[in-house]
Structure 1
Amino acid sequence: MMETVHTHGVWMAEALQKGTIEYEKLWLFVTHMGDPKAAFLLHFPMVYYVNRRTGIAVVWVAAISEWLNLVFKWMLFGERPFWWVGESRLFIENPPQVQQFPATCETGPGSPSGHAMVTGGVWWVMASALASFLRSRTRSRLLTAVPYLLYLLVMVAVGLSRIFILAHFPHQVVTGSLTGFALGVALNHTVPEWRPLMFFVRWCMGLLVGALLLHVGLEHLGVDLSWSIALAKRWCSQSEWIRLDTAPFSSLTRDCGAMLGLGLAQFWKPGGWTLPWVPRALCLALSSLALYHVNRVPLPTSPPFLFYSLYFIRFALLPQVVMVFVPGFVHLLTAKNKKD
């Protein structure tokens, strides 16, 4: 049955590539915007300076959703189209006319889609917050429905982009989207806006230790959790497209770092700074610039433990930049101007 599902998924990817290849740059942009890293680097600062609680919710939902996605991938052993086409040996006589892209060759298992799952959770938080705002201000059902229609459009676009680049089969996108939606609805009611630092330390350690224990347990049972990495390296058309930041442990260290960083940011400055809209816009510009350069800093990939440690620190710093450093700097500037 899964062979049939995978086969039809490959033909769908082929049809999508043939029919929309002129929109290649658009698909690559959409898949980039759906990357779990984008939740921390792009969506978080944009939302935080509009509404503090929703910004915190973005980090909270992104971290837990991506962690659960890692656990599901370890347990479900999902194939990816770009390697399954070669491994299955079903297309020797009639190979599909498909191509790979720089974002294709992710090294983790494919089921469910992490892009769809994290996007489903994070964008639900943002869409529901905007819908609540519009409902309270306009009382218009039509305007209130707009954020939810945008949510559906984003989910469809991200899902199709993942199929287009051969990163996922359609059923992996669907399951990831539905799971992300459910997590977004559930976790949006448990946003840790005023929690103490130890709450985040415990969550950080719980995510890290829980994943490591599961990894050790599965390895002890004879499960080879590096199987997908070997297949990705074997079937990726360009070796330089294999990146360590797509490995399963990269998502784990990213989520744990962001969780600890969120706690530290609220510990240093509980409640944050109250800034008018113009200083907030300045904060957004400075934060975006800072996160862009922080993310561009190259990290050594050998030994892997050093990379993961530095990757953890990088994402632990992100909430500090957005919630503490930049707003504090802008607050000092605006306070000085008022005094003058």
Structure 2
Amino acid sequence: MGYAKQWLFVTYMGDPKAAFLIYFPIIYYLSKRTGIAVVWVAAISEWLNLVLKWILFGERPYWWVGESHLFVKNPPRVQQFPSTCETGPGSPSGHAMVTSAVWWVMLSAAASFLHSRTRSRLLTAVLYQLYVLILVAVGLSRVFILAHFPHQVIAGSLTGFMLGVALNRTVPEQRHLRFFVYSCLGLLLGALLLHFGLEQLGVDLSWSISLAKRWCSQSDWIRMDSTPFSSLTRDCGAMLGLGLAQFWKPGGWPLPWAPRALCLALSSMALYHINRVPLPVSPPFLFYSLYFIRFTLMPQVVMVFVPGFVHLLTTKKKD
């Protein structure tokens, strides 16, 4: 418990939202292709994680302790945290799955770059060891806060690794807007059809939400942005935003390194404040619609709006 703050920080950095809010702007201004790959891989892997959770179910430790009725005589003292009370099913771990996929994209690109410049196998080996350490740290943090069982973390890490390897070969750079519109609709309709089909078969897909509300120690730790449909709208919005960004400015803005650093600072601040804007949680449809718009804006802020503004400032200074 003395390291609780450190584990909470690790689980925050492993949150799927971190791929869009933190890693994407940093990587994009270092390598456009890898930055686009981060959004692409994060959206697809989180969507597939949602589908797998609906199919595989999976308990979460913080509610399983009470629901299992194995500890009636000597109930353990369960310590929960604000990040504990997620409302979706537990298998596989979304944090582990998205982290595994996204960090593979980032570190494999870094390893390839270093190897092409230095021809050092030691440096590339260190990066791949760092990849394993990151997965272990995120997995332990999820177990520590009672959000997942160990096997769920392992399943998420392995699935994310395979997705990262596969999707990194098909990055939609310079693709037409239609591709992203169809991808967005495919993700949305695919998930909704699966949801409808499972409900028609008598599967109650809201079972995990009711358990989370029952066993979470503080009701305000139940957040709308942790629900399954929030991740769906986030992924669809990011996918559409990625297409719109490449449609408005194909190839992006050509900027030297100094203006890129300014773009990174401004983009990070912009994404931070956009993410902080409170959204109405009722009715749910309004929340999901605004959440969709929020993540549609984010790729455009990083790839079009901020670089365009900085480009305008730097060209004026040169004149």
TM-score range, shorter chain: over 0.9
Matched, 1:210 2:190: yes
Other-structure match for 1:162: 142
1:49-86 Cα shifts (integer Å, max 9, x gaps): 00000000000000000000000000001000000000
How far the C-alpha of 1:37 sits from its partner, in A, is: 0.4
1:200 maps to which residue?
180
- 2:133 paired with 1:153: yes
Matched, 1:233 2:176: no
Q: Which residue of 276, 299, 304 corresponds with 2:284?
A: 304
> Counterpart in 2 of 1:315?
295
Superposed, 1:6-17 pairs within 5 Å as none
Equivalent positions of 1:32-43 (< 5 A) are: 32-43=12-23
> How many angstroms does 1:150 deviate by?
1.1
Q: How does 1:1-340 map to 2 (within 5 A)?
A: 21-339=1-319
SS for the counterpart of 2:171 is coil
1: CA distance, partners of 2:103 / 2:42: 10
Shift of 1:95: 2.4
- Percent identical pairs in the alignment equals 82
Alpha-carbon RMSD? 0.6
Greater mean deviation of Cα atoms: 145-154 or 234-243: 145-154
Q: How many Å separate the matches in 2 of 1:103 and 1:152?
A: 23
SS of 1:284's equivalent in the other structure is: helix
Q: Tell me the TM-score normalised to structure 2 length.
A: 0.99
Task: Output the CA distance in 2 between the equivalents of 1:96 and 1:136.
Answer: 53
Per-residue Cα deviation, 1:183-214 (whole angstroms, up to 9, x for no partner): 00000000000100000000000000000000
Q: Distance in 1 between matches of 2:87 and 2:128?
A: 32
Question: d(CA) in 1 for partners of 2:203 and 2:309?
Answer: 50
Query: 90-99 vs 140-149, which deviates more?
Result: 90-99
Aligned residues: 319
The 2-side partners of 1:274 and 1:152 are apart by: 34
Offset at residue 93 of structure 1 (A): 2.2
Question: For 1:333 and 1:128, how far apart are their aligned partners in 2?
Answer: 34
- Which AA in structure 2 matches 1:272? G
Amino acid at match of 2:51: V
Q: Distance in 1 between matches of 2:221 and 2:145?
A: 13
Q: Distance in 2 between matches of 1:26 and 1:125?
A: 25
Whole-angstrom distance in 1 between the partners of 2:73 and 2:127: 47
Distance of 2:114 and 2:57 partners within structure 1: 42
Q: Does the residue aligned with 2:140 lie in a helix, a strand or coil?
A: helix
Q: CA deviation at 1:249?
A: 0.2
What CA distance in whole angstroms lies between the structure 1 residues aligned with 2:224 and 2:291?
A: 10
Cα deviation, residue 274, structure 1? 1.1
Query: In the TM superposition, what is the alpha-carbon distance from 1:94 to its structure 2 partner?
Result: 2.8
Q: Which segments of 5 or more consecutive residues in structure 1 lack a partner in the other structure?
A: 1-20
SS at match of 1:97: coil
